[in-house]
């Protein structure tokens, strides 16, 4: 047991205790001994610090406990905080003693290289690694930055339901469930409810998990992902694009300010992030198709961009690109048609640089009741289930817009990760629901 006058603290707060005696509670990240001196890398969830133990200071018995330590065993260490510029976090602990809580035997993730499948099977333990730890901290800051941006711009958070009778983004990716004596779905997007909330509260957002039975096995698709969705009353496509680009830029800025240490662990190349600034370049879908054709890609107006197409488009700039005005036929029923060319809908996507593809999707909504009804019928959606939504066009309909930003895609881009599976603690994919 640590002496009573020793203050318990965390690695993150060591700078407040220079020269003082503290106790740290954590896990063994690594340890090595040179007979009389022991070096313990202690991980406590807030960081990693080196603890130096000498047999003389801690005594024979405690030193023997140290020598028996294994990777990820849990323990408390107490000693003096020493400032040391050569140490990774700038501090080191000169230990006076330690107690073991539990000896971990045969921790499966060793410092050697493991395959992805093995690591994914051990995701519940893999999260303890330095790299996964860094990603989770960046994700946390991204979410905080999003909330701060929206909250400080008078957006009101209104939670939307997870269980819903309505399809938002087509019927092919719906997860169905038995809901007592009827059927319902897991939500694909909170958008339709957001539209109701925007008519009540003006500028709103929802932020929650969304679900898609995506058959796509790509590095950008999860079946459960988190999406922030702002929705603005009295806002057109251009206003929508401005909100979206400001949000993206402010999130990048925040991570650069706060997460320098994590970006270093992730070996993220910083200049591409440091260059991000509004306004982002804009390109219509039609211009994007011309660009692809100009580069020799066989792509016809009317098709949906694949990952490879998005990469070619995004390579035209160092900035994220706002692509707007898509063929109505490939977009959802709720999108407002372009008055200048009714073949197109007033949708917009943001494509991230460095080949990360679409991170934001949204647009202006159809506010006219008859046009919306026509689109519902064309898509074979049940009018009955959407009556509540149609009411929004019957009672004080106004131009309005919104968008959704996928958190995992943004985390993958900002952290520079090859796959979205590392962007969320427990990813759900077509072939994985465990652990």
Binding test (CB under 6 A) with ligand 4AD, winner from 96, 141, 338, 358? 358
Task: Count how many Cα atoms sit within 13 Å of the Cα of residue 326 in the half-sphere of its side chain.
Answer: 20
Window 130-169: contact mask with ligand 4AD (x via CB under 6 A): --------------------------------------xx
- Residue 404 interacts with which of Mg ion, ligand 4AD, none, CB < 5 to 8 Å by class: ligand 4AD
How far apart CA 8 and CA 77 sit, in angstroms, is 10
- Residue 402 interacts with which of Mg ion, ligand 4AD, none, CB < 5 to 8 Å by class: ligand 4AD
Task: Count how many Cα atoms sit within 13 Å of the Cα of residue 45 in the half-sphere of its side chain.
Answer: 8
- Residue 270 dihedral angles phi and psi, to the nearest 5°: -80, -40
Binding test (CB under 6 A) with ligand 4AD, winner from 26, 38, 327, 402? 402
What CA dihedral angle connects 291, 295, 299 and 303, to 10 degrees?
A: -40
* Residue with Cβ nearer Mg ion (230 or 361): 361
* Residue with Cβ nearer ligand 4AD (331 or 393): 331
* Residue with Cβ nearer ligand 4AD (212 or 268): 212
How far apart CA 20 and CA 106 sit, in angstroms, is 35
* Residue with Cβ nearer Mg ion (26 or 361): 361
Only segment of 13-21, 127-135, 388-396, 406-414 that touches ligand 4AD (CB under 6 A): 406-414
Only segment of 89-97, 219-227, 275-283, 373-381 that touches ligand 4AD (CB under 6 A): 219-227
* Residue with Cβ nearer ligand 4AD (6 or 227): 227
Cα–Cα distances in angstroms (integers) from residue 239 to residues 8, 153, 336, 399, in the given order: 50, 14, 15, 11
* Residue with Cβ nearer ligand 4AD (79 or 406): 406
CB contact at 8 A, 260 and 414: no
Indicate the burial class of 252 (C-beta count within 10 angstroms; 0-12, 13-18, 19 or more).
buried
Angle between helices 369-378 and 387-394 in degrees, nearest 10? 160
Residues in the interface with ligand 4AD (CB under 6 A) total 24
Which residues from 325-364 bind Mg ion, rule CB under 5 A? Answer: 361
Asked if 191 touches ligand 4AD (CB under 6 A), the answer is yes
How far apart CA 164 and CA 209 sit, in angstroms, is 13
Only segment of 22-30, 76-84, 120-128, 222-230 that touches ligand 4AD (CB under 6 A): 222-230
Task: Count how many Cα atoms sit within 13 Å of the Cα of residue 22 in the half-sphere of its side chain.
Answer: 23
User: Minimum distance between the CB of residue 211 and ligand 4AD, rounded to whole angstroms?
Assistant: 9
How would you classify the pairing of strands 48-54 and 74-83?
A: unpaired
Q: Site residues (CB under 6 A) for ligand 4AD?
A: 168-169, 189, 191, 212, 214, 221-222, 225, 227, 229, 358-362, 402-406, 408-409, 420
Q: Site residues (CB under 5 A) for Mg ion?
A: 361
């Amino acid at each position: 047991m640590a002496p009573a006058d020793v203050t318990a603290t965390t690695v993150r707060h060591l700078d407040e205790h220079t020269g003082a005696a503290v106790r740290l509670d954590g896990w063994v990240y690594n340890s090595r001994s040179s007979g009389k001196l022991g070096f313990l890398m202690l991980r406590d969830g807030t960081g990693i610090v080196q603890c130096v133990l000498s047999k003389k200071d801690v005594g024979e018995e405690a030193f023997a406990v140290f020598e028996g330590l294994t990777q990820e065993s849990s323990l408390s260490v107490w000693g003096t905080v020493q400032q040391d510029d050569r140490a990774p976090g700038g501090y080191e602990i000169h230990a006076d003693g330690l107690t073991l809580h539990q000896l971990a035997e045969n921790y499966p993730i060793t410092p050697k290289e493991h395959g992805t499948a093995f690591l994914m099977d051990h995701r519940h333990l893999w999260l303890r690694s330095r790299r996964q730890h860094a990603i989770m901290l960046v994700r946390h800051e991204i979410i905080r930055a999003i909330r701060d941006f929206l909250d400080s711009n008078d957006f009101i958070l209104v939670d939307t339901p997870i269980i819903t009778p309505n399809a938002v983004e087509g019927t092919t990716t719906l997860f169905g469930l038995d809901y007592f004596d009827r059927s319902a779905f897991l939500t694909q997007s909170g958008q339709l409810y957001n539209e109701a909330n925007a008519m009540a509260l003006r500028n709103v957002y929802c932020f929650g998990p969304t679900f898609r039975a995506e058959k796509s096995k790509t590095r950008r698709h999860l079946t459960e992902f988190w999406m922030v969705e702002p929705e603005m009353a009295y806002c057109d496509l251009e206003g929508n694009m401005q909100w979206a680009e400001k949000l993206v830029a402010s999130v990048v800025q925040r991570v650069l300010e706060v997460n320098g240490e994590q970006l270093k662990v992730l070996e993220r190349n910083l200049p591409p992030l440091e260059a991000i600034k509004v306004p982002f370049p804009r390109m219509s879908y039609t211009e994007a198709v011309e660009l692809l054709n100009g580069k020799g890609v066989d792509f016809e107006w009317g098709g949906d961009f694949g990952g490879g197409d998005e990469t070619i488009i995004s390579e035209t700039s160092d900035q994220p690109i706002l692509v707007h005005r898509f063929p109505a036929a490939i977009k959802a029923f709720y999108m407002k048609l372009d008055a200048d060319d009714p073949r197109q809908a007033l949708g917009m996507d943001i494509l991230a640089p460095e080949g990360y593809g679409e991170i934001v999707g949204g647009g202006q909504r159809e506010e006219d009741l008859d046009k919306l009804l026509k689109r519902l019928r064309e898509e074979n959606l049940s009018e009955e289930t959407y009556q509540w939504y149609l009411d929004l066009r019957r009672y004080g309909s106004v131009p309005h817009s919104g968008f959704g930003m996928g958190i995992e895609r943004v985390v993958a881009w900002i952290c520079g990760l090859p796959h979205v599976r590392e962007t969320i603690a427990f990813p759900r994919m077509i072939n994985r629901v465990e652990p």
